[in-house]
Amino acid sequence: MADNPYFSAGAGLMGLGVVLTGLRRGVKLASTAARRRMLITLEIPSKDRAYPWFLEWMAAQANAAKLVPPEQRGIRGILSGRMNQLPSHELAVETTYKQHENGASEALFNLVPGPGTHYFRYRGHWFQVKRERDAKLMDLHSGSPWETLTLTGLSSSRNLLPNLLAEARELAEQSTEGKTVVYTAWGTEWRPFGKPRRRREMGSVVLGEGIAERTEADLKAFLARNKWYAERGIPYRRGYLFHGPPGSGKTSFIQALAGAMHYNICLLNLAERGLTDDKLNHLLGLVPDRSFVLLEDIDSAFTRRVQTSEDGYKSSVTFSGLLNALDGVTSSEERIIFMTTNHYERLDPALIRPGRVDLHELLDDAAGEQAYRLFVKFYAAGVRADEAAADKAAVDAGDPDPLLRDERLSEAEVEALGREVAAAVDAARADGRTVSMASLQGHFIRHGARESVAGVDALCRVRK
């Protein structure tokens, strides 16, 4: 058999195959062991909050790389550490579209790393990023394909990952700094709705005497007594109810309170299709930190809604489910809820009892004193020189803004006209006629100071 050339050739080939197979397995095992010891991998699913933060951070790094002078780009710039990210041709666009009331529209396009492989350098360490999309899996809440970000770097860079994610979060929060974020319920989670809004000043909402001060003082006292509640075994929750006619500033005041306390707002629609008692309880237990929960028009939450289909619909949330979510065994703590209603008399006493609603405030139609303060706020003298110059330039250019048609009034003139407005509002109230603060505000926007005084009486109507 040893002399058989066919057998010798077969044995040789077989031996060579065994050796090659062993080498291949050895290389594979060595590669796997090397990857385990030398590389670190971090996976970020699209459902995680860090996912959009990191994409925004990557986009910011790419924009920073574009600012590098041309002579420092390319391999020389990369090796010298002057570029944080390699140029990428695999991009995705995130479009923010806004339609204005006047018919105009604007779109903001933000280019972020698209599906594929990307590389960047962070604090002297290279990382590989793979953005992978699984078309077979879908996010049931958003309807978008399931995606995953996989970061790979040397094991020595493991301690850099928390710093990198913290930096990405700080960058994302810069866009909301000094602003109020409005969240809405999206399935069983809270998601930001639109762009963050500029914080509203407390002085921008003119309420009845003492209402704003009383509510703000109560809220600050509650926030400062966390330990006091815990020591006495009292659930750390607070409820506020603002009631009154439409246009009295209920929602605006809540926005101003959120801005003054540096809180965000979670807007919850109890009549939303698909919302159940379990989902409501779940949402109230997952309210983002430092956020108010706002339930608007609470009186209409359990009445038949306007039909949007042939059969219409009703809220799936039951009254007992709402009561249990607000103050039941399973209700969460560290929560501040605001409710608004135009019909206080329709509310069930069980809903507004102490423990569920701790402070009731009536935000009524305008009183004379309120109208006076609003008038002075609109037409007060003492405008800065640069604003006055800008107003004069606008008038000279034919700007039709009625606020610019009046001559600049002295402080005494503004106060005298404001007293006339207050007297007209009080006289109308004596006759059973009222005017909302929203109507007065719109009236002052459309007319100049002297012109607006004469039209106040015509705004007052008998309340239905």
Q: Per residue in 77-108, pLDDT tens?
A: 444 444 455 555 666 766 655 544 445 555 66
Closest to 303 in 3D by CA, of 356, 340, 346, 349: 346
pLDDT at residue number 102: 45
Please report which confidence band the pLDDT of residue 308 belongs to, taking 50, 70 and 90 as the band edges: very low
pLDDT of residue 222 exceeding 90: yes
Whether the per-residue pLDDT at 70 is higher than 70: the answer is: no
Q: What is the mean pLDDT of residues 283-301?
A: 88
The pLDDT of residue 304 is 46
Q: Is the pLDDT of residue 439 over 80?
A: yes
Task: Determine the pLDDT at residue 38.
Answer: 72
Which of 108, 111, 51 lies closest to 87 in space, CA to CA?
Answer: 111
- Give the bridge partners for 267, in sequence order: 184, 294
Per-residue pLDDT at 311: 47
Per-residue confidence (pLDDT) for residue 241, from 0 to 100: 95
Task: List the chain domain ranges.
Answer: 40-175, 192-362, 368-462
Q: pLDDT (tens digit, 9 = 90+) per residue, 47-65?
A: 887 888 888 888 877 665 5
Greatest alpha-carbon pair distance for the chain in Å reads: 127
Beta-bridged to residue 96, according to DSSP, are 108
d(CA 322, CA 333): 15
Whether residue 330 is predicted with pLDDT greater than 70 in this model: the reply is no
pLDDT digits (tens, 9 = 90+) for 340-373: 999 999 999 999 998 889 999 999 999 999 999 9
Strands 189-192 and 182-186: antiparallel
Give the span between the Cα atoms of 365 and 363, in whole angstroms.
Answer: 7
Residue 191's pLDDT band (boundaries 50, 70, 90)? confident
**CATH among 3.20.20.70, 3.50.50.60, 3.40.50.720, 3.40.50.300 for 192-362:** 3.40.50.300
- pLDDT value of residue 35: 61
Q: How confident is the model at residue 310 (pLDDT cuts 50, 70, 90)?
A: very low
Average pLDDT, the chain: 78
Which of 68-77, 114-123, 397-406, 449-458 has the least mean pLDDT? 68-77
Q: What is the pLDDT of residues 161-181, one digit of tens each?
A: 888 888 888 887 776 677 888
146-150, 262-266, 403-407 — most confident range: 262-266
Range 188-201 average pLDDT: 82
| Average pLDDT rounded to a whole number, residues 179-197 | 83
Q: Which residue has the tokens 């303060």?
A: 373
pLDDT tens for 127-165 read 888 888 876 665 554 556 788 889 888 877 778 888 888
Closest by CA position to 337, among listed 315, 362, 319, 355: 355
What local confidence, expressed as pLDDT, does residue 255 receive? Answer: 93
Percent of the chain whose pLDDT exceeds 90: 24
Query: Alpha helices of 39-187 — where are they, by DSSP H?
Result: 50-66, 74-79, 160-174
